[in-house]
Chains A and B, each alone.
Chain A
Amino acid sequence: MNEITSTLHPVRRPWQRHLNKLRWLVLSLVFAMLIFLPMVSLYQTFAAAHGYDLLSPARQDFYDLMEALTSPFSEDPVSGLNGIKGTTWSGNFFGYQLSDPLAVVGQIAAGFEIYWPFVVSALIPLLATLLLGRFYCGWLCPATFLYELNSNVAALLRKSGLNFGRVRLDRRLKYLVLLLGLVLSGVFGSVFVAMIYPPAIIGRELYYAIALNGFGVGMVLFVLTLLFDILVARRGFCRYLCPGGALYSLLGRYRLLRIRRDVAICNDCVKCNSICEFGLNPMRDDFGQECNNCTACIAICPTDALGFTTAMHDLPDQGEGHLSPHFRRTGGVAS
């Protein structure tokens, strides 16, 4: 056995398995917020116009609903509901402007100049990514919410006997997409990555659909990515193509918060590997920069062998789990 595992005390942290529920709560809240904010915007317009009687009956119902929902929080919808505006791509959160680092990078690539107020607005997400890794992908991204539901659909389809969606591509493809997206932004002079980045698409299209004239062209692309995930590769877009995922992976390479396996209580059941949306290998300590700290593997581990630690690097492969049948039979000699 190597020294690292012998000095490591097996600390069971059973509460961490509930983090996945928390994550789902956060994901649902973010998605609900992206639906709710355009509705608030619409409601504010109606309220500001003082034209309730002129609204169509359907819009009057909508007005009543929004009034019922928001009246506990604010008496004056026109000026009192401005706390949160925007999407996860760029938004205003109680006075703080927050932007996606990819938006800043893409915009700099498109215009070849740096606008500091915009860069500053991406600072908090950037720092969080440096510390927490690709957490945005797992915990906040509104597209992840739909993609994980989509993964469940794909799993159901597979269970019903349709055998597809098992292709494995090279994970580094997404870095090429990021590079290409930035180059195209520079060449064609509009923020190209914004058109192919699913969370930006989702935020925008929900706004178009609810407050403006209906879905735009981005929805077509998003449905294509859903089909790609079902038919070609599980979570294929996030794993292999997403430019934002590529940027966050690079930024989160030396993240401080990581998931680590406690080899002394691991029983090699492979559940973590099969649950991992990004196709990583937690059972053999292979997390790498791609891991988004989504805690799905922690939640499913039957022996609580997986948990968060603070470290700059993953452990090298620690070998068989000490509770695995093979290890117990051989006493670890074979490993």
Chain B
Amino acid sequence: MSMQRRNFLQWLVRGTGVLAAAGAPYGLARVLAPAQPPSRVTKRPQRRTLRPPGALADDAAFRDACIGCGLCAEVCPPRCILFHAREGEADVNTPYIVPEEKGCILCMKCGEVCPTPALKAIPFTKADIFQQVDMGVAQIDRLTCYPWVDTGVCGACVLACPLGTRAIGFDFANLYRPVVKPDCVGCGLCVEVCPHPSLPIRVVASNEGTVTEHSVQKIGLPTHSPQGSGPGGVGGSGVLPF
């Protein structure tokens, strides 16, 4: 018996060694690969997916905790929770929400059923939701939104918000211009109802602010100064050259 066990252990060690050796090149390549070079294009990704409410703030920790059982999606009343079924590499089989298609109604049932620490159970009260839910924050592009560019009256996002005036309200000066407040939890219902085809409202990470900053302000434009000072210097001051 002990002989068998020793054989087995030897065999196990040998097998692990062979597999480790076989996997080493891939592992090394992965570890040594340079980080993704910072892109000059500051255009935000078209679709930032959200985690269900109550998700761990650190996405890596969320992936570790989620076992992909699908319970959260099964109890979700509007079925806004989708799964990375075919794509998403390390995210595979983890839940996400696409607010453009369907926003979260903040019913908090997903956290209730989640067996793992991935989704925290949050009581279904307004105070707890404001305090604990952090899916992101809605951000409005004031160069696109109909009332902000004076091409109409709308207010769909304000009406759709389940949290009321603490999360989104109207501008003081113009009663149709929506203004997101920092208390917004990022459920995405406003994105779902926004009638503008290019969706000037979208949910971003909560540290990105509630008003869209435009890329021209960030990277600046090549200045074509009449003096010809250098080959197309980049205006670092963050202001347009006019």
| Chain A residues within 8 Å of B, Cβ to Cβ | 37-38, 41-42, 44-45, 48-49, 78, 82, 85-87, 89-92, 97, 99, 103, 106-107, 110-111, 115, 117-118, 121, 170, 172-173, 175-176, 179-180, 188-191, 194-195, 200, 203-204, 207-208, 211-218
Contact = CB atoms under 8 A, between A and B. Distances in A.
A215 B113 CA distance: 24
Contact of A204 (B63, B68, B117): B68
Contacts of B171: none
Contacts of A212: 73, 82-83, 85
B93 A111 contact: no
Contacts of B83: 204, 208, 212, 216
Contacts of B92: 190, 195, 216-217
Contact of A176 (B15, B68, B75): B15
Contacts of A208: 83, 85
Interface string B51-77: 000000000110111111111011101
B71 A190 contact: no
Given A37-B74, A115-B65, 5 more contacts: A89-B67, A189-B90, A191-B66, A207-B74, A208-B85
A44 to B, nearest CB: 7
Contact of A207 (B19, B70, B94): B70
B70 A92 contact: no
A92 to B, nearest CB: 6
Interface of B: 8, 11-12, 15-16, 19, 60-61, 63-71, 73-75, 77-79, 82-83, 85-86, 90-94, 113, 115-117
Contacts, number: 138
Contacts of B85: 208, 212-218
B63 A190 contact: yes
B86 A216 contact: yes
A41 B74 contact: yes
Contacts of B69: 86-87, 89-91, 99, 103, 200, 203-204
Contacts of B94: 190
Contact of A86 (B16, B66, B71, B90): B71
Given A82-B75, A85-B74, A115-B116, A191 B61 contact: no
